[in-house]
């Protein structure tokens, strides 16, 4: 699935780099650091040296259902981190958490005929800027040892490749629903899904399409991916 890999020292964003050029499907851009790393809704993604930042391009025709993609890719990231000895959780729809803090994020953007997937994983950073220092965590901060980024990236790309093939051929519900539910952050807890209309309910799990299922005061509610932020309701 991954055919070309370009590793840059510094870039604005691997995501915009791929979006702006006409690179073939299967191209991967990696950068040591990003000056303008971005998350969902145009938020900033802190991308100092030590982290792993990469994006790749897929054919939109092969992946028509992009709301499940961040979950499938997020599962791969969480499994790669578990191979390093961590206990990880998936925060629906696009983040990976360890010890209640964010260790990785996935960004999926779709154009007419391409899907660009961007992944940021906090690996060897010693610290973060003040804004996120209480909510972000790196592998190094947990294990006290550096991980080789080339080794980690190739391992992660292998898992992503395997999952994307399975997803394309067999869909989401056969395998991913169950695996993701096992790792779902806030499962069984009262959460608030913040969008135009905030909804409060107990997080029960996800359905066969990857929608979040909440049990609210007025019944069961399915929440679609989109610009939704999930928080504990306290």
53: partner contacted, choices ligand ATP, ligand BTN, none (Cβ within 5-8 A by kind): ligand BTN
Q: Given the structure tokens 């070309």, which residue do they identify?
A: 4
122: partner contacted, choices ligand ATP, ligand BTN, none (Cβ within 5-8 A by kind): ligand ATP
User: Nearest Cα to 152, choosing from 34, 53, 71?
Assistant: 53
Cα–Cα separations (whole angstroms), residue 143 to 13, 66, 76, 132? 28, 34, 20, 20
Residues that bind ligand BTN (CB under 6 A): 13-15, 34, 37-40, 45, 53-55, 94-95, 105-107, 118-120
CA distance linking residue 113 with residue 122, whole number of Å: 30
Q: Given the structure tokens 């370009």, which residue do they identify?
A: 6
14: partner contacted, choices ligand ATP, ligand BTN, none (Cβ within 5-8 A by kind): ligand BTN
Which one, 120 or 201, has the nearer CB to ligand BTN? 120
Ranked by CB distance to ligand BTN, the top (closest) residue is 105
First to last CA, the chain: 43
CA distance linking residue 127 with residue 146, whole number of Å: 13
152: partner contacted, choices ligand BTN, ligand ATP, none (Cβ within 5-8 A by kind): none
CA distance linking residue 223 with residue 234, whole number of Å: 20
Which one, 39 or 201, has the nearer CB to ligand BTN? 39
List of residues contacting ligand ATP (CB under 6 A): 39-41, 43-46, 94-95, 102, 105, 120, 122, 132, 136, 229-230
């Amino acid at each position: 699935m991954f055919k070309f890999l370009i590793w840059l020292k510094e870039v604005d964003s691997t995501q915009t780099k791929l979006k702006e050029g006409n690179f073939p499907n299967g191209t991967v851009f990696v950068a040591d650091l990003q000056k303008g790393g971005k998350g969902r809704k145009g938020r900033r993604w802190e991308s100092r040296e030590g982290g792993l930042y990469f994006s790749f391009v897929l054919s939109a025709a092969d992946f028509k259902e992009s709301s499940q993609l961040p979950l499938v890719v997020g599962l791969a990231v969480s499994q790669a981190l578990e191979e390093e000895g961590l206990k990880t959780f998936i925060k629906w729809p696009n983040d990976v958490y360890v010890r209640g803090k964010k260790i990785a994020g996935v960004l999926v953007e779709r154009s007419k005929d391409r899907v660009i997937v961007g992944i940021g994983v906090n690996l060897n950073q010693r610290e973060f800027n003040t804004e996120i220092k209480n909510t972000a965590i790196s592998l190094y901060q947990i294990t006290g040892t550096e991980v080789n980024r080339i080794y980690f990236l190739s391992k992660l790309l292998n898992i992503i490749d395997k999952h994307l093939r399975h997803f394309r051929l067999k869909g989401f519900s056969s395998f991913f629903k169950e695996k993701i539910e096992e790792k779902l952050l806030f499962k069984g807890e009262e959460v608030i899904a913040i969008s135009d209309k905030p909804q409060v309910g107990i997080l029960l799990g996800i359905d066969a399409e990857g929608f979040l299922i909440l049990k609210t005061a007025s019944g069961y509610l399915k929440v679609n991916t989109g610009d939704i932020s999930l928080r504990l309701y306290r």
